[in-house]
């Protein structure tokens, strides 16, 4: 019986080592794609380029992804889902606090977001990002009262969503000239002012 427990523990240790190696390889692959996209057009990037940059073989990439488009889609989906989860965890916060959670995430993943928003190879990212922002702010918009009374809900949501995405693009394009806390407070205050 003790031997069986030991074998189980060894199996769990080996499994966790494999999981860490897989996670490490996937992270290297994702970083490689992002770095390469900051240097050249996505259409010009090959699986071999990604493998060379990530220091893995091509088979490792194909083990996890169908092709480079599948890889890019999964990277985008991962970040969109992370942002969505951050919204859920920040639902009880003020706009400024909730925005700070987002801007801190953007700051930690600067290369990914700055590359995706600037890249001609990933135009769908901006659209998906805008859709997420609109989806998350929809609950905050009340067109029955206050300054927004009488406005069409879609116009207000497009306005706020485009403002947030535009500020994020500006922030990255200009090398994040303001700390995440300041940009979050200021965008939060602007949103609060327009939602009252």
pLDDT band per the 50, 70, 90 thresholds, residue 19: confident
Q: What is the CATH number of domain 69-196?
A: 1.10.357
pLDDT band per the 50, 70, 90 thresholds, residue 2: very low
Quote the pLDDT of residue 143: 66
Q: How far apart are CA 147 and CA 161, in angstroms?
A: 18
Q: pTM for the complete prediction?
A: 0.79
How many other C-beta atoms are found inside a 10 Å radius of the C-beta of residue 142?
A: 13
1-65: which CATH architecture?
Orthogonal Bundle (1.10)
pLDDT of 61 strictly over 90: yes
Q: What sign results for the dihedral spanned by CA atoms 166, 170, 172, 177? A: negative
Quote the pLDDT of residue 193: 76
Burial class (CB in 10 A: 0-12, 13-18, 19+), 90: middle
- Residue 102 near residue 89, CB atoms below 8 Å: no
pLDDT of 3 strictly over 70: no
Candidates 157, 172, 189; CA nearest to 107 is: 172
Q: Domain locations in the chain?
A: 1-65, 69-196
Provide the mean pLDDT of the chain: 83
What percentage of the chain reaches a pLDDT higher than 90?
46
Q: Which of 3-7, 71-75, 146-150 has the highest mean pLDDT?
A: 71-75
Quote the pLDDT of residue 10: 35
Please give the distance of CA 103 from its chain centroid, rounded to a whole number. Answer: 11
- Residue-wise pLDDT tens digits, 117-174: 886 656 788 899 999 999 988 877 766 666 767 788 888 889 989 999 999 999 999 9
- Residue 128 near residue 76, CB atoms below 8 Å: yes
- 3-state helix, strand, coil split of the chain in percent (to 5) is 80, 0, 20
With vertex at residue 84, the alpha carbon angle to CA 177 and CA 87, rounded to the nearest 5 degrees, is 70
The DSSP 8-state label assigned to residue 121 in this structure reads: T
pLDDT of 108 strictly over 60: yes
Quote the pLDDT of residue 36: 94
């Amino acid at each position: 019986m003790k031997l069986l427990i030991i074998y189980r523990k060894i199996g769990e240790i080996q499994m966790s080592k494999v999981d860490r190696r897989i996670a490490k390889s996937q992270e290297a692959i994702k970083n490689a794609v992002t770095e390469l996209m900051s240097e050249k057009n996505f259409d010009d990037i090959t699986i071999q380029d990604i493998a060379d940059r990530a220091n893995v073989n091509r088979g490792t990439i194909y083990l996890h992804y169908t092709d480079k488009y599948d890889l890019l889609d999964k990277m985008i989906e991962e970040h969109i889902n992370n942002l969505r989860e951050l919204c859920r965890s920040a639902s009880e916060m003020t706009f400024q606090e909730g925005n700070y959670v987002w801007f801190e995430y953007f700051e930690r993943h600067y290369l990914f977001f700055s590359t995706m928003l600037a890249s001609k190879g990933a135009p769908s990212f901006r659209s998906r990002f805008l859709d997420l922002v609109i989806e998350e702010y929809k609950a905050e918009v009340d067109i029955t009262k206050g300054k927004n009374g009488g406005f069409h809900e879609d116009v207000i949501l497009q306005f706020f969503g485009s403002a947030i995405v535009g500020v994020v693009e500006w922030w990255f394009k200009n090398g994040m000239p303001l700390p995440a806390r300041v940009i979050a407070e200021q965008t939060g205050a602007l949103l609060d002012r327009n939602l009252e």
